[in-house]
Structure formats: C-alpha cells, structure tokens
Amino acid sequence: MSIFAYAPAPESRAVVDIAPSYGLFIDGEFRPAAEDKVFPTHSPATEERLSEVAHAGAADVDAAVRAARTAFGPWSALPGAERAKYLFRIARLIQERSRELAVLESLDNGKPIRESRDTDLPQAAAHFFYYAGWADKLRYAGFGPDPRPVGVAGQVIPWNFPLLMLAWKVAPALATGNTVVLKPAETTPLSALFFADICRQAGLPRGVVNILTGDGSTGAELVAHPGIDKVAFTGSTEVGRAIARTVAGTHKRLTLELGGKAANIVFDDAPIDQAVEGIVNGIFFNQGHVCCAGSRLLVQESIQEELLDALKRRMETLRVGDPLDKNTDIGAINSAEQLARIRELAAAGEAEGAGRWQPASCELPSQGYWFAPTLFTEVQQSHRIAREEIFGPVLSVLTFRTPEEAVAKANNTPYGLSAGIWTEKGSRILSVADKLRAGVVWANTFNKFDPASPFGGYKESGFGREGGRHGLEAYLNV
C-alpha cells in the first residue's frame, strides 16, 4: 500500500470543541497571563491555527506556586482514601472524554488517532487508576511507616506524549499528597488545558493542580522559583543539565527523564516476522518521537539480508498522512524545528557514508511537517546517526557477530533508557539483559508500558523512576 496524501476527516474533528483562546489554570480558575502575552498553537499536519493560549511569565509562576502552597496544607492532610476518590474521578473522566481528548491530542501533536486512542488515552487513565490505588496504602509501600509528601512539585513535560506525560507526573504527585504546578510543552498545550477542565469537573480543590502554558522561559522560571520543593522534568538531556544546575545547592528534590538511543538487538534465531513488527513499532510508533525508541537496530550479520528485505517490504506498507485517519501509521512531525533537526541528522548520515533507504512509493503531503520512514544501512558507531538522538522515524542499522559484540555496541552510548532483545533462547535473554546498561529491557516485544512498571534511565538518560511503587518515592520524604 502506498503512502497517502493528507485529507481532512471532518467527522472526527467535530468531536472536540476547541475554544479560540485559553488562559492559565491557576487556583482553580482560567485567567489571562499577568502581562497579557499569548502564543498560538497549530496542527503540525495542516499548519492550521488551533487556538491561542496564555504565555505565563514570572508573576504567573509566582501566583501558581502560591496557590499550590496554600492548597498543600489541606490536600496533604486529607486521608489517603479521600485523595484516592479524586484520582479515581479524574481517571473515569479521562475515560469518559477519551474520544474528544484523543482527537485533540492528534490535532495538536500530529500523532495518529489509532495511537492516541489506543495508547495515550488508556494509559493516561490507567496511571490515575493505578496511583489512586496507592493513595491510602502509602505506609505499605516500603518507604517507612509514615511517608510524608514533599510539598509543591514543579513539573515540566515535553510534546511527544502530552497528556500521558502529564499523567505520569500528576497522578503519583497527587496520590502522595503533593500539589502541582505543571508546564506543558509550547507546541502541545491543549490537552493539559482540557485536563485542567477535568480537574474542575472532578471537584478537585482549587490550587491542587495548576497549569502554566508557555515556552522554555516559563519552565526556567518555574524550576528556579524558591517555593518549589520538587522538580520533575522530562525532555532533552541539554535542558535537563540546565535544570540540574539551577537546582544544585537548593532544598529541591529532582528527577530527570531524558533522551535515549536504544538498541533493538535481533539474534539469528529470532522469529523474523515478529522481529520486523517489533522493529517497526520500536522506531515508527509516534513518528519516532519516543525517548525509548529502538532507534539503533543491531542485527546479527548472518541474518542481515533476510531481515532487511523483510523490513523494507513491511516499510512499503506503512501509511503516512492524516493523523485523524484510523488507517494512518505515521502522522506528522510535531514542529518545523523538529523536522529541521531530523533532516539535518539524516543529511549527516548520508554525508558520513551510510546508505539511505525510503519506501519508493513515499509521497508526502505538501502542507504540514512530514518525514518519510527511513532506514540507514552501513552505519558505523562513529556516525552521528548512531550516536545522537534523532527523535524521528529514522532507523540506523548496525551489525554484530557475537552476543558480546552486541552488548558492547548496545552499551556504546551516553544514554541508557531502554533496549530490546529478539531471540528464541530464554537463557540468552537473561544473560544479555543483565549486561545491558538500560533502565528498561524488552524481550521479543518493544514499547510496552504499564503503570505498575517503573520506567527511567541510566547514565545521561537521567535518574529517578516513574511508574510503579518506585514512582512514589520521588514524591515522598521517607
């Protein structure tokens, strides 16, 4: 099947009512920014302007942190079972409004509706359900008899899974009795603002959750504010470093979820068709805008030809186009800046001597930001496309002969977020997984998530864990 051109799907678009403008959500109310600054948000698939949102400055950060501080006393004093009721209510409201939120997320982010409907939304609700269950059981979580909340959490999230990253941050913070000021990414502010409305619908006490839209400067103001007790950040390693410098020497606690350059390792005994599906899911899910994407394929030399032939055949069937079309596999690149970065790294791959391949039938829409699924062969470890995070639908293929070589190449990166292993041998899965310096290792699958499972990195992929019992620790004084 060839790659499609973009065609709007008005029926789906109609399920969500996007207002022409949105304010900041502070102390339970939407209000304009103190300096009245605004910025537009666009659909990356059509470049259509979706709405205009308030741009929070220093005075707004201060107001939100104060509201969160005032709310902290009564919120943290509530019995855990009472806090749980709010989290359960939020989870159910996310489920009830999931169709609307899925369309909204696909419009603002560019991701295929099948992914926002089947992954982002159910996972976001699942995080609230999961952490609601912990709220009245914290004394059994293994952090001592009386773990206490840290205080006001400043949370900064990226654009690749806007609502899901919000859920990863907000659900454990609220379950443990903290209050929150959250800044979504500049290019994807809308689902966080709809979430603010859900907080109101759920009757969440004012000030417990505050949403500040803005750009990196808003994030920097939030992180530096003296009234914040805990900073939780997901994003690039570069910004993570800057935040760590800001927080160093203060009372603030910090967790960082940063970039990745995961190896997806295929041994010669792996079931080829299954591995091909795992490779495609590993790198093309969410246009490759995934911190744990399997962006380096390590294939055992003896099956390289067979595997790459099968992979190319599969890539020919991928449909790139309208995010709101249920048949779309690969949606739009989130922004012009991200597209420029992907193009720059792909050009560097060619210049450094790797072989570039894209499906022959690939025709991209003229409007919006698009990048065809791309494969690079003959990649050397020194190439930039083997070392740097591309954060796009680009796969770098390297080969190995022995398991030892596979492990050495997989670990030859400053990152350490995730990895995948494909083999029929259970003993090999265990021995290789043990040697990989990665926070998550998938075996004969990829990109599987569960709220009960802790997620986080080694090395320059950050520190701290989100999800599971471990995810509570970041928000507790023990």
Residue nearest ligand TAP by beta-carbon distance: 219
Binding positions for ligand TAP, rule: CB under 6 A = 156-160, 183, 185-186, 215-216, 219-220, 223, 234-236, 239, 242-243, 257-260, 291, 389, 391, 417, 462
- Distance in angstroms (rounded) separating the CA atoms of residues 27 and 75: 13
Q: In a 10 Å sphere around its CB, with 0-12 CB exposed, 13-18 middle and 19+ buried, how is residue 423 labelled?
A: buried
Identified catalytic residue from 115, 186, 257, 388: 257
Question: Does the annotation count 257 as an active-site position?
Answer: yes
- Distance in angstroms (rounded) separating the CA atoms of residues 350 and 356: 7
Query: What is the nearest approach in angstroms of ligand TAP to the Cβ of residue 184?
Result: 6
Q: Specify the residue, 176 or 295, whose C-beta has the smaller distance to ligand TAP.
A: 295
Query: What is the nearest approach in angstroms of ligand TAP to the Cβ of residue 261?
Result: 9
Q: Specify the residue, 186 or 229, whose C-beta has the smaller distance to ligand TAP.
A: 186
Query: What is the nearest approach in angstroms of ligand TAP to the Cβ of residue 175?
Result: 19
Closest CA to 256 of 126, 393, 416, 386: 416
Query: What is the nearest approach in angstroms of ligand TAP to the Cβ of residue 87?
Result: 21
Query: What is the nearest approach in angstroms of ligand TAP to the Cβ of residue 228?
Result: 12
Query: What is the nearest approach in angstroms of ligand TAP to the Cβ of residue 247?
Result: 11
Query: What is the nearest approach in angstroms of ligand TAP to the Cβ of residue 316?
Result: 28
**How many C-beta atoms lie closer than 10 Å to residue 353's C-beta?**
10
Q: Specify the residue, 279 or 290, whose C-beta has the smaller distance to ligand TAP.
A: 290
Query: What is the nearest approach in angstroms of ligand TAP to the Cβ of residue 181?
Result: 12
Q: Specify the residue, 260 or 323, whose C-beta has the smaller distance to ligand TAP.
A: 260
Would you say 376 and 395 are in contact if contact means Cβ atoms under 8 Å apart? yes
Find the farthest-apart pair of alpha carbons in the chain and give their distance in angstroms, rounded. Answer: 64
- Distance in angstroms (rounded) separating the CA atoms of residues 376 and 303: 17
Residue with tokens 């789906």: 12
Q: Specify the residue, 32 or 216, whose C-beta has the smaller distance to ligand TAP.
A: 216
- Distance in angstroms (rounded) separating the CA atoms of residues 54 and 77: 32
Q: Specify the residue, 158 or 278, whose C-beta has the smaller distance to ligand TAP.
A: 158
What are the Cα distances from residue 329, in Å, to 105, 296, 337, 422? 16, 20, 22, 23
Q: Specify the residue, 121 or 291, whose C-beta has the smaller distance to ligand TAP.
A: 291
- Distance in angstroms (rounded) separating the CA atoms of residues 101 and 95: 9
Closest CA to 133 of 464, 471, 397: 471
Q: Specify the residue, 151 or 439, whose C-beta has the smaller distance to ligand TAP.
A: 439
**Known catalytic residues?**
257
